[in-house]
Structure 1
């Protein structure tokens, strides 16, 4: 069963994926397969370099091997989740073998999904589609929240201005009443003396 055809270039720009694995062979296979599915894929063989690339250029999704030298996939995930800019970046963890404890550990640490190697690329593609769709929904919610926050701030400013105008109107009214009262007293005084 073959899955998706390459993405239609007229619909939307291709989604970008950073694949991180210390095995160059695995990276090359992943890169070719994801490119065939229509994704723009960058390849990286270590965590520190991957984090630098993510900071320099955002990605739509990161595939990370859990067992890497220098920086494990879990350490990389912790770095991503700990930074405000990447806290919601979709991450799929990859592991050798099918130990369910490793999957639970990855998901508990904040991975969006987990896949045991060797994996079927149709399954990977389906999981990527699901995680990217979730990422789009989160981005839409963030945009909607930002727009709502901006509207609330604008309303708060308007309310503050209205309160200031109301206070000024009340002060003007009090001055006017005091002036009328003073005029009435002056009229009464003149009538008594005149």
Structure 2
């Protein structure tokens, strides 16, 4: 049997909060939504809704527009002004005659709306749409965070490699200076001249390796560790060859 993904539309893990001051409305909506396999909680006022959200975050909120003391728009403003709840999907429930309320709700940040009497097939489709969107957004956020972490690690590795490469460049420059001193003293006769030519050959190889490594780092790519090791080995060989 295929497992239902977590927070998939109308899976048992999808939690819906109903906010409505009329007991009969909450009872009917709860029964119909539970028949669709949703997990349902309900509260009777805006204040109770905000209290509920302080310790529990549902996947969807069904918010009635017309409520005493704190109406749906006020509750919606409070939800959207709180960083911990500002991204929760909210569907506003309005009466058919409340077209102005619908516009006001959408402007205040409601994700969608349904009208009374509720068409539960329409409500189900809208719930599924917003739960999927929320899940996709959350997954994309996690992927972006993972990519940012990888980019940070890569930048640190490149920085370390650049530091190592700079050290090798300085050693190469030092060898070039020593070789120039040897050459200026005209010690190219055997056997010393053979050593000088050997150093020159090693430095030519170092120059080739250096050019390749510099090109790699300048393109923000990570150089091959083996190339770094070979370059270091060549420089050490050149140092040991010096008279």
- Give the TM interval when normalised to the shorter protein: 0.7 to 0.9
Supply the distance in 1 between the matched residues of 2:147 and 2:168 (Cα, whole angstroms).
31
Alignment of 1:135-174 (within 5 A): 135-174=134-173
Equivalents in 1 of 2:100, 2:34: separation in Å?
Answer: 31
- For residues 14-73 of structure 1, give each alpha carbon's deviation from its aligned partner in whole angstroms, at most 9, with x where no partner exists: 210011111122111111111111000011112232223223122111111122233322
Q: Does 1:18 align with 2:11?
A: no
Partner of 2:216: none
Please, which moves more after superposition, 109-118 or 148-157? 148-157
Count residues in correspondence.
182
Gapped regions of structure 2 (runs ≥ 5)? 7-11, 188-243
- Tell me the equivalent position of 2:209: none
Shift of 1:78: 1.9
Q: 1:158 to 1:64 in 2, by over 3 A?
A: same
Farther off after superposition, 82-91 or 169-178: 169-178
Which residues in structure 2 correspond to 1:67-106 (within 5 Å)?
A: 67-106=66-105
SS at match of 1:114: strand
Aligned with 1:63: secondary structure? strand
RMSD (CA atoms): 2.6
Q: Distance in 1 between matches of 2:51 and 2:43?
A: 10
Moved more, 33-42 or 155-164: 155-164
Q: Counterpart in 2 of 1:120?
A: 119
1:52–1:175 Cα change, 3 Å: farther
Structure 2 CA distance for partners of 1:175 and 1:32, relative to 1, 3 Å: same
Q: Which has the higher contact order (CA 8 A, sep 6+)?
A: 1
What's the TM-score once normalised by structure 1's chain length? 0.80
- TM-score w.r.t. structure 2 length? 0.66
* Distance in 2 between residues matched to 1:93 and 1:119, nearest whole Å: 11
Alpha-carbon spacing, 1:165–1:47, altered in 2? closer, same or farther (3 Å): farther
Q: CA deviation at 1:181?
A: 4.8
Greater Rg over alpha carbons, structure: 2
Q: Distance in 2 between matches of 1:177 and 1:161?
A: 25
| Structure 2 counterpart of 1:188, from 185, 195, 202 | 185
CA distance in 1, matches of 2:74, 2:133: 23
Deviation at 1:189, TM superposition (A): 9.7
- Alpha carbons of structure 1 residues 109 and 140: separation in structure 2 relative to 1, 3 Å: same
Worse overlay, 55-64 or 73-82: 73-82
- The whole-number CA distance in structure 1 between the counterparts of 2:2 and 2:52 is 25
